[in-house]
Structure 1
Amino acid sequence: QPFVAEPVTAVTDDLILVEGQADALSLAQVGLRAIALCGLTPGDLDLSGVSHVAFDDDDAGRAKALETALSIDPTVRLAFWPGHKDANAALQAGYTIDHYCVDLDAAQPAIMHLAMAARNAKGDERAELIRQFFTYYADLDEIIATDWKPDLAAQLCGGVQQFNRLHKAQQKEAEDGEHASPERYEYAAAGVAGGRIWEQLVVANDDGTRRSLYAIRTPDGAIKYASSVEVGNITYLPFPADLGVVRADVVLFPDSVDDIGTQAQLVRDIQKFIHKYLDIDPFYERLAAYYVMFTWMYDAFENLPYLRALGDYGTGKTRFLQTIGIICYRPMFVSGASTVSPIFRLIDMFRGTLIIDEADFGNSDAEAEIIKIFNVGYYRGGVVLRSEADPESKGDKYSPATYDVFGPKMLATRRPFTDRATESRCLTKRMTTARPRPGIPYTLGEEFRREARRLRNRLLRYRLENHRPIDIDQALADESVEPRLNQVTMALKTIVDSDEMRADIDTFIRAYNENLIADRQMTLPALIVQALAETHFNKRTNVLGEDARDFTLKGLADTAQKIVAELDPDTRVTAKRVATILSEELGMPRRGVCNRTRRAVVLYEESELKALMARYGI
């Protein structure tokens, strides 16, 4: 954050920009107003009131001071304290207010320093500095430009006549368009720079129309509103409210920044909202509430899991996505997409939470594209490359296009993914065909949308107040639960504000992890792991003292068949099925040959087996 040093009684109206806090305090001590960057870049702050820039008196400091002053206004003056590196060193050497004022009065404007730099440069560097000089000169007030012209001409080229010739040549180049303005505009739904964070709002007008603006948290923690944000030479604008995907509520935004109360109360209110409109068990209600909060801070972390509803038609998957998705961070509902192309663009443009219904596309090509998004989009920097027509070639040539697809995602599918990597990244709720409990509305109307909007407004405040670079403390990991659960809970435990909430998260996630293990214990992979464990730990020998344990695929299949017969006598376990599950689902593809029987046996490390036993609760 910048440091503002205001003296009790200011001697002058000057406002001096310095680099460090010590310099600002030194100037304030003698009665001068100062502001210190403290590591920020000038483009991150409103410096319109600065009259002088006083950085360190060395080559790097002078160059930086000139660049900074020009970025504020070419009339801002560069101040130095002769014989001293900075304001603090000057004060320690005995400088008084009179000494500082003499040096401030002698300070030259930035455009004068630029003229001197251009005069001393050579070749291409000189030509570029002259172009820069006349760009800033054109922005001067007409009276100031006329008054300063003789002195500027003397510094730049030695006289007014040569100055006029250079000026005319630069004007002609500008008219020919050879040196366009470096300023540019970009649309962005949010941004972070120099201690500021801004988020787009879409607000209703009195006449029923809507408008877009930014809610900005300043470096000092205040919340302000603006129609644009400037960072260096870039002006960021919110996406227009009449943009198709915004107007149609494909992408949703908050419309205000509301108070959240305590974080614990916010979690409870999110869970109450989910409970009111969706029939799922309390465990998953709480997980969903935590995941919603996680989405509002996702860009502070390196990777993330997805939330998934799995079930047949009519089991409530769509209601699951509507209820939870509508309060996630900048939800993007793409169930109406006829192709995959707009999905790539939406994620890259808005960087929100992807909500995708019936994600198991019937088209195999579309499914492959969706799988790419899921497999790449769980880690920071995840980029998908696509070949797209080059607009300048009228469709005759294609160029690679990149899409950043990192971000939280909610999805609903009728069947598990065939890609095991994708499947492993989902926190899955299996939906049933049971009727919802009494009291759940059959339709979601205006009251639902109004409550969701209020929660999004509170969650926006939560993001603005808590967003910062975060290093996750590895000590927060709970080794008793799965890594993908730790991804969510470690992140949440890092950003929640009370030990009580951390303990509550631990209690919940352990219970949820036990449910996952219980579900797996009834699967065939779990039974094969159990068969392998029984064979491994039931050490026995033959009459010759040789190891008599049977690690062949046939032997493991027979052991698994005995176990499964107690649960489902109709299920048949074959050696081929055991081989497939070991290789494709359990990660045990290695085979060897038994020295005694010369038959193929399964090879593994005991640590691998113990890890699988822990995973399946055996």
Structure 2
Amino acid sequence: MPGPERDEQKRKIIPTVSEVLEDGTIIELIYRPEIRITSLVLFNAGRWTLQGHVDVSERYRLVPFSPNNNLIKNEVVLLPSEPRMYGSEQQLVSEIADFIHRYADLSPSFEQVACYYVLLTWLYDAFNDLPYLRLRGDFGTGKTRMLLTIGSLCYKPFFASGASTVSPIFHTLDAFRGTLIFDEADFRFSDERSEIVKILNNGNVRGMPVLRTMMNQQREFNPQAFHVFGPKIVATRGLYEDRGLESRFITEETGARPLRDDVPINLPETFKEEARELRNKLLLYRFHRRHEVKLDATLADPKLEPRLNQIMLPLLSVIGNPELRAALRNAAHNAQASIVAERGLLMEAQVLEVLAELMITTDRPIVPVADVTMGLIERYGAEYERPITNRWIGSVLRKKLNLQTYKSHGVYVIPMNERQKVEVLCGRYGVNIITDVSAAEGGVGTKGTL
């Protein structure tokens, strides 16, 4: 057998959606629905070419996914059909904005955020952390239309809904590594809800795959890591119980105003073609910007909590418009204020309030847990149906607030060296501390930090 044929037989065939090679070459899958053909687009040294396969070494050959793949031919995953010129970046942003405005009714600020989030999805693999977009509101408020409109422009969008089982979502995200567009993400059953929460909790940070139980052909236990990192746009009616997950979303509240009259009730036949044309331009945008874009740490806002800075920085790094950056920061500050206000309603905030005032008014080096318990009973006891005990308060201090307690002369106490930590926690929970003893007894007093 001739040598070249033997070499080709040795190569492992790898169906490929996208790849960034060590030499900087970018490879992307395209699909031409009119003739039902998939190909690979190879971009290198400022030029792109169509390839039926790409040999990356003597051992591996990258080939396109089959056009008969159910996800591709049924338009569950949307792909570009070929790279197209887009003019300047600002022209591309304007076209995206016009498309979104034409088919969906969003607030002006969120419409701008959505435009740049679309750009971010095409560059997301250049970052290690990502925010999510969310549309939250009751049925009939346009959430699904907004998802379809924004999602159709994103990088390899994968459309799913609450009617989907969770297993194919894991497999599709792992195989295509695109943008999850999830409608009705309020699961009725706790097991399904916990699975999608795993995807959302792990999916905004690179290097946090989800492990799932698998069996190999020999029926051996063989856990598999599913990569779920990537941009996500979801629509929900309510909130998630996990407050950490809630902090990952940039949210648009729907239904707060009447829908615009100029938004078509039904999408026209040209919608898909318009969206594909924009995806084609965005593909070339990815080729041009993928190796240029970098996280700009100087855009971090010291007034924001680390989590909010973490999810906002990638989007701010893509946005070049200073006014929009300011608007996005303002939205982040509003989100932080909402988070702090929500924390202020928790029992932890009430415990902190009592503890902080005791630390201010005492001249002892410790604060007994029993004093915190008594203060909480006097101030908030009527709000609780169960008895407020020292054990319960001690558990809140240690497990919820991560404060140190120890036993002294038979009673548990909080040392005063925890005061700085308490001050930081007061800021996180929005607790204002009365610094004047007379105010605590009914006087006017002042509010401030410890």
TM-score, length of structure 2 as denominator length: 0.79
Where 1:460 maps in the other structure, the secondary structure is helix
Aligned counterpart for 2:330 among listed residues 501, 504, 511: 511
Deviations 1:458-484 (A, max 9, x none): 221211101128653432322223434
Q: For residue 355 of structure 1, what is the aligned residue in structure 2?
A: 181
Instruction: Name the CA distance, whole Å, in 1 between partners of 2:364 and 2:62.
Output: 78
User: Retained in 2: the 8 A contact 1:274–1:285?
Assistant: yes
Change (3 A) 1:426 1:551: farther
AA partner of residue 177 (structure 2):
R
Query: 1:463 is aligned with what amino acid?
Result: R
How far has the Cα of 1:184 moved from its partner? 2.2
- The verdict on how the C-alpha distance between 1:600 and 1:547 changes in structure 2, with shifts beyond 3 A counting, is closer
CA distance in 2 between partners of 1:286 and 1:437 (Å): 17
1:486 to 303, 309, 312: 309
**Alignment of 1:588 onto 2:386:** no
1:210-359 equivalent positions in 2, closer than 5 A = 210-218=36-44, 220-233=45-58, 234-335=60-161, 338-359=164-185
Q: CA deviation at 1:197?
A: 0.5
Q: Match for 1:552: what amino acid?
A: V
Find the aligned partners of 1:531 and 1:436 in 2 and give their Cα distance: 44
Q: Aligned match of 1:609 in 414, 423, 433?
A: 423
Matched, 1:364 2:228: no
Aligned to 1:197: 26
Structure 2 counterpart SS, 1:237: strand
Structure 1 residues 344 and 337, CA, compared in 2 at 3 Å: closer, same or farther?
Answer: farther
Q: Is 1:378 paired with 2:215? A: no
Distance 1:551 1:432, change over 3 A: farther
**2:295 match:** 472
CA displacement at 1:351 relative to structure 2: 0.8
CA contact (8 A) 2:18 2:29 kept: yes
Q: Distance in 2 between matches of 1:594 and 1:278?
A: 61
* 8 A contact 1:333–1:354 mirrored in 2: yes
1:187 alignment partner in structure 2: 15
Look up the match of 2:344. 525
**1: distance between equivalents of 2:41 and 2:138?**
41
1:555 to 370, 375, 380: 375
Does 1:437 pair with 2:260? yes
Q: Please state if 1:424 is matched with 2:255.
A: no
- Percent same amino acid at aligned positions? 34
Distance 2:16 2:221 in 1: 27
Q: Structure 1 residues 541, 403: closer, same or farther in 2, change over 3 A?
A: closer
Partner of 1:139: 3
Cα separation, partners in 2 of 1:444 and 1:600, compared to 1, 3 Å: farther
Alignment CA distance shift 1:269-1:610 (3 Å): farther
Q: Name structure 1 gaps, 5 residues minimum.
A: 1-134, 142-173, 562-570
Deviations 1:360-384 (A, max 9, x none): 3223222222222222222222222
CA distance in 1, matches of 2:124, 2:47: 22
Contact 2:212–2:224 (CA under 8 A) maintained in structure 1:
yes
**What is the SS of the residue equivalent to 1:332?**
strand
The aligned residue for residue 121 of structure 1 is none
Change (3 A) 1:248 1:590: same
Aligned to 2:440: none
Distance in 2, Cα, partners of 1:537 & 1:449: 61
In the alignment, is the contact (CA less than 8 A) between 1:328 and 1:353 conserved in 2? yes
The amino acid that maps onto 1:231 is V
Residue identity in the other structure for 1:200: L
What is the CA-CA distance between 1:342 and the residue it aligns to?
Answer: 1.0
Number of aligned pairs? 424
Write the distance in 1 (CA, Å) between the matches of 2:415 and 2:404: 5
Aligned mates of 2:268, 2:99 — CA distance in 1? 14
Alpha-carbon displacement from aligned partner over 1:545-599 (angstroms, at most 9, x marks no partner) = 99999972453576579xxxxxxxxx9478869x79x949x94154758999x78
Q: Contact 1:480–1:510 at 8 Å: present in 2 too?
A: no
Q: Distance in 2 between matches of 1:608 and 1:275?
A: 47
| Other structure's SS at 2:82 match | coil
Give the Cα separation in 1 of the matches to 2:57 and 2:365: 77
Given that 2:131 and 2:311 are in contact with CA atoms closer than 8 Å, whether structure 1 keeps it comes out as yes
Name the CA distance, whole Å, in 2 between partners of 1:554 and 1:267.
Answer: 59
- Supply the distance in 1 between the matched residues of 2:357 and 2:173 (Cα, whole angstroms): 50
Highest Rg: 1 or 2? 1
1:57-68 matches, cutoff 5 A: none
Q: Would the alpha carbon gap of residues 493 and 432 (structure 1) be closer, same or farther in structure 2, given more than 3 Å must change? A: closer
Aligned residue type for 2:91: Q
Paired residues of 2:344 and 2:431 also in contact (CA < 8 A): no
Tell me the alpha carbon deviations over residues 263-288 of structure 1, each in whole angstroms, 9 at most, x when there is no partner.
23333433333333333322222222
Of the three residues 226, 235, 238, the one matched with 1:415 is: 238
CA 1:305–1:338 in structure 2 vs 1: closer, same or farther (change >3 Å)? same
State the shift of 1:327 in Å. Answer: 1.2
Take 1:511 and 1:617, find their aligned partners in 2: how far apart are those partners? Answer: 22
Give the distance between the partners of 1:491 and 1:327, measured in 2 at CA. Answer: 18
* Aligned-partner residue type, residue 228 of structure 1: H
The answer as to whether partners of 1:228 and 1:236 remain within 8 angstroms in 2 is: yes
How far apart are the structure 1 equivalents of 2:145 and 2:401? 39
Shift of 1:332: 0.3
Does the aligned pair in 1 maintain the 2:341–2:430 contact within 8 Å? no
Residue identity opposite 2:30 in structure 1: L
Partner SS state of residue 510, structure 1: helix
Output the aligned Cα RMSD: 4.0
Query: 2:446 — aligned with what?
Result: none
> Take 1:423 and 1:462, find their aligned partners in 2: how far apart are those partners?
31
> Judging changes above 3 Å, is the alpha-carbon distance between structure 1 residues 312 and 606 closer, same or farther for their aligned structure 2 residues?
farther
SS of the equivalent of 2:211 reads strand
2:223 maps to which of 396, 400, 416 = 400
Give the Cα separation in 1 of the matches to 2:415 and 2:131: 33
Instruction: State the shift of 1:495 in Å.
Output: 4.8
- AA aligned to 1:313 is F
Note the alpha carbon deviations across 1:163-219, whole angstroms, 9 max, x for none: xxxxxxxxxxx9xxxx994212211111111221121111244xxx3211222211x
Structure 2 runs not aligned, ≥5 long: 433-450
Aligned residue identity for 2:331:
Y
TM-fit CA distance, 1:430: 3.2
Match of residue 286 from structure 2: 463
Using a 3 Å threshold, how does the CA distance of structure 1 residues 539 and 422 change in structure 2: closer, same or farther?
closer
